[in-house]
Amino acid sequence: MLFSSITFLYFFLPVVLLLYGVVPKQAKNFILCIASCLFYAWGEPIYLFLMLIQIVIAYGLTQIMEKKRDTKAGKVIFILAVLIPFASLFFFKYFSFLFRELLGIAGSSMKTLVVDVPFLGKLDLLNIVLPVGISFYTFQLVSYIVDVWRGETAAQKSLLKLATYITMFPQLIAGPIVRYKGTDKALDDRETHVKDYADGIVRFAIGLGKKVLIANTLGDFVQEISGMSGNSIALAWAYALAVTMQIYFDFSGYSDMAIGLGAMLGFTFPENFNYPLISGSLTEFWRRWHMTLGSWFRDYVYIPLGGNRVGIVKWIRNILIVWMLTGIWHGAGWNFVVWGLFFGVLLMVEKLGAGIHENKDDLTQKKSFASVLWKGIMCCGRHVYVLVAVLISFLIFNGMTMEESWQDIQNLVCAPIWMDELSVYMLRNRAGILLVAIVGATPLPKRLWEKLTLRFGTEAMCEVDSKTVTMSMIVFRMIQIIMVAILLLLCTAYLVDGSFNPFLYFRF
């Protein structure tokens, strides 16, 4: 089920929130787990069982593993527990791709290979359908298993609670990747404060707006010009910008909705995006983009490989492994491998050059005009470099094939003319949404909101120990209510009017 669907917004969500609100504490996990299973099964009923089986296996194996942690048997169980979700992920996500590539190398032009599989029916091994959200819940399962193995958390004794954690519908199919360590206490006992609930509603509405009003509209624009980006250099750059913004607003909008829904249900989910497009380096970009995935790879791959506390050759190996895995996590295709390695290489260069930057920063301490100017130029240059690199990376990411991506990149400089009449029209037609997207990708709206909040003291009003409520505070909260209502109405209007509504990150 999509968050941005009428089924979810006006039927599933109110029913679940009301039920969840009225049942006693002991029954909340049960309601949430059942609702989450229904949510998942709504789109892919068959694959619900795949997820549930993996949860049961992980539950069983971690119980044994915890007891036999220091034994060889424990180690074997640990390896088995980790391998099962990864094997499932490999089969459903990568098997078809690798099989097709191997057949291609062998000179075969086979397009389908259908076999009968119990429960699943006929399965085309060359075109296996990817279960929704498998990359996300696999990583959550693995993080849970590893944390239990490391002794950083106790194995969950309740199968229901573990299932609730893995299946929890707000984050099930597109993240953020919620670690068990930070959620275990809330699974046992949680309370939803009315302020958190209200803030969750605001966050959810903002996320919905980012997805439906901005990402989908940019998606229309991307579709309109996808075959024309070679017309002019301006259109090629607009295409790259629109693709990047679409992916950003789609994914960060989904994360906002997930965090908002989590707050309504009494959970605190980690932030996933922090205005990545304002970054001054790619290192900073990846600290701000899909933060939960980055930290997962850091904690479960990079650091176990030795991180940066190894020799330079091993460090390069570690970086390349992590970024290749990051690439293929996003999809089974060569463009995703190249996309990951593209970032890996640039991040290595950045890290190797970090010392030089530090020296330059020292120079600027003198605060001469030249040094200030130099710092300004370097600052602008860094942002331009990040934006260009990110735009190019998402052209690689977005292409159906590497050839298509390469063509899109070439168009940025090799398109026959700078601007033609069609490009002018296209850009004028979508100037509004591009402007909204550009401003929305910066912290400006948030800072403005925070200033207004401080000015009217609404934040103070919402504090538990607040004692006075002024008329301006009430008016300010009313404005929030009206804004949420407008966002909901507008999103509903867009949903009713159009059918273009795919969630990009579902294929991961």
Partner 1 sequence: MKQSKLINRIFVGLFLVFLCVMAVLFLVLPKAEYSTVERRRLEDAPKITWAGIRDASYMDDLEAYLLDHFPFREQLRSLKAFFAYDVLGQKENNDIYVVDGHAAKLEYPMSESSILKAADKMKALQEKYFPDAKVYYAVVPDKNYFLAEANGYPSLDYEKLETLMQEKLTDMEYISIWDTLTIEDYYTTDTHWRQERIGKTVERLAEQMGFSEYVMTEFEQKEIKDFYGVYYGQSALPLPSESMYYLTNDVIEQATQFNVETNQTKPVYELDLLEDETLMDKYNIYLGGAVAIQTITSPLAEREGRLIIFRDSFTSSLAPLLLNAYSEIILIDTRYVSSGFLGNYVDFTDAEVLFLYNPLVLNNSTMLK
Catalytic annotation, residues: 330
Q: Which helix (H) or strand (E) holds 122?
A: strand 121-124
Q: How far is the CB of 458 from partner 1 (least distance, A)?
A: 9
Q: How far is the CB of 474 from partner 1 (least distance, A)?
A: 6
Q: Is 422 in the site for partner 1 (CB under 8 A)?
A: yes
Q: How far is the CB of 53 from partner 1 (least distance, A)?
A: 18
Q: Is 72 in the site for partner 1 (CB under 8 A)?
A: no
Q: Is 502 in the site for partner 1 (CB under 8 A)?
A: no
CA–CA distance, 346 with 335 (Å, rounded to integer): 16
| Region binding partner 1 by CB under 8 A among candidate stretches 29-37, 98-106, 144-152, 457-465 | 457-465
CA–CA distance, 503 with 487 (Å, rounded to integer): 19
Helix, strand or coil, per DSSP, at residue 226: coil
Phi, psi (degrees; rounded to nearest 5) at 198:
-65, -45
Question: DSSP state, 127?
Answer: S
Q: How far is the CB of 261 from partner 1 (least distance, A)?
A: 12
CA–CA distance, 491 with 475 (Å, rounded to integer): 24
Residue 439 token pair: 């401003």
| Region binding partner 1 by CB under 8 A among candidate stretches 267-275, 292-300, 318-326, 487-495 | 487-495
15 vs 377 by CB, closer to partner 1: 15
CA–CA distance, 122 with 481 (Å, rounded to integer): 50
Within residues 111-170, the interface with partner 1 by CB under 8 A covers none
CA–CA distance, 328 with 95 (Å, rounded to integer): 12
CA–CA distance, 439 with 245 (Å, rounded to integer): 11
133 vs 340 by CB, closer to partner 1: 133
Q: How far is the CB of 411 from partner 1 (least distance, A)?
A: 17
Q: How far is the CB of 14 from partner 1 (least distance, A)?
A: 4
Site string for partner 1, 14-53 (x = CB under 8 A): x--xx-----------------------xxxxx-------
The correct pick among 22, 106, 194, 413 for binding partner 1 (CB under 8 A) is 194
Q: Is 425 in the site for partner 1 (CB under 8 A)?
A: yes
Q: Is 5 in the site for partner 1 (CB under 8 A)?
A: yes
| Region binding partner 1 by CB under 8 A among candidate stretches 318-326, 383-391, 406-414, 478-486 | 478-486
Contacts of 318 (CB under 8 A, 6+ apart): 302, 305, 306, 307, 308, 310
> Would you call 75 exposed, middle or buried from its count of C-beta atoms within 10 A (0-12, 13-18, 19+)?
middle
Contacts of 416 (CB under 8 A, 6+ apart): 230, 231, 232
Let me know: does 476 contact 470? Beta carbons within 8 Å.
no
221 vs 336 by CB, closer to partner 1: 221
Q: Is 488 in the site for partner 1 (CB under 8 A)?
A: yes
Strand ranges in 320-453 using DSSP code E only, listed in sequence order: none
Give Cα 405 to chain centroid, integer Å.
Answer: 22
Beta partners for 422? Answer: none
Residue 282 token pair: 């790619």
Cβ neighbours around 360 below 10 Å, total? 12
The correct pick among 83, 368, 493, 507 for binding partner 1 (CB under 8 A) is 493
Helix, strand or coil, per DSSP, at residue 399: coil
Q: How far is the CB of 55 from partner 1 (least distance, A)?
A: 21
CA–CA distance, 19 with 21 (Å, rounded to integer): 5
The correct pick among 80, 160, 186, 462 for binding partner 1 (CB under 8 A) is 462
* DSSP helix, strand, coil percent of the chain (3-state; round to 5): 75, 0, 25
Within residues 214-243, the interface with partner 1 by CB under 8 A covers 217, 228
Residue 45 token pair: 């009923």
The correct pick among 329, 430, 504, 505 for binding partner 1 (CB under 8 A) is 430
45 vs 304 by CB, closer to partner 1: 45
Q: Is 174 in the site for partner 1 (CB under 8 A)?
A: no
| Region binding partner 1 by CB under 8 A among candidate stretches 5-13, 304-312, 348-356, 390-398 | 5-13
Let me know: does 251 contact 504? Beta carbons within 8 Å.
yes
Within residues 308-337, the interface with partner 1 by CB under 8 A covers none
| Region binding partner 1 by CB under 8 A among candidate stretches 173-181, 195-203, 291-299, 356-364 | 195-203
Q: How far is the CB of 205 from partner 1 (least distance, A)?
A: 9
The correct pick among 71, 353, 489, 507 for binding partner 1 (CB under 8 A) is 489
Residue 97 token pair: 């791709």
CA–CA distance, 318 with 310 (Å, rounded to integer): 9
Residue whose entry in the numeric block shows the structure tokens 């707006």: 209
Helices (H), 23-71: 25-41, 45-67
Q: Is 463 in the site for partner 1 (CB under 8 A)?
A: yes
Q: How many residues bind partner 1 (CB under 8 A)?
A: 62
18 vs 352 by CB, closer to partner 1: 18
The correct pick among 432, 439, 442, 446 for binding partner 1 (CB under 8 A) is 432
The correct pick among 195, 357, 446, 507 for binding partner 1 (CB under 8 A) is 195
Residue ranges binding partner 1 (CB under 8 A): 1, 5-7, 9-11, 13-14, 17-18, 42-46, 194-195, 197-198, 201, 213, 217, 228, 421-422, 424-425, 428-433, 436, 461-469, 473-474, 477, 480-481, 484-485, 488-490, 492-499
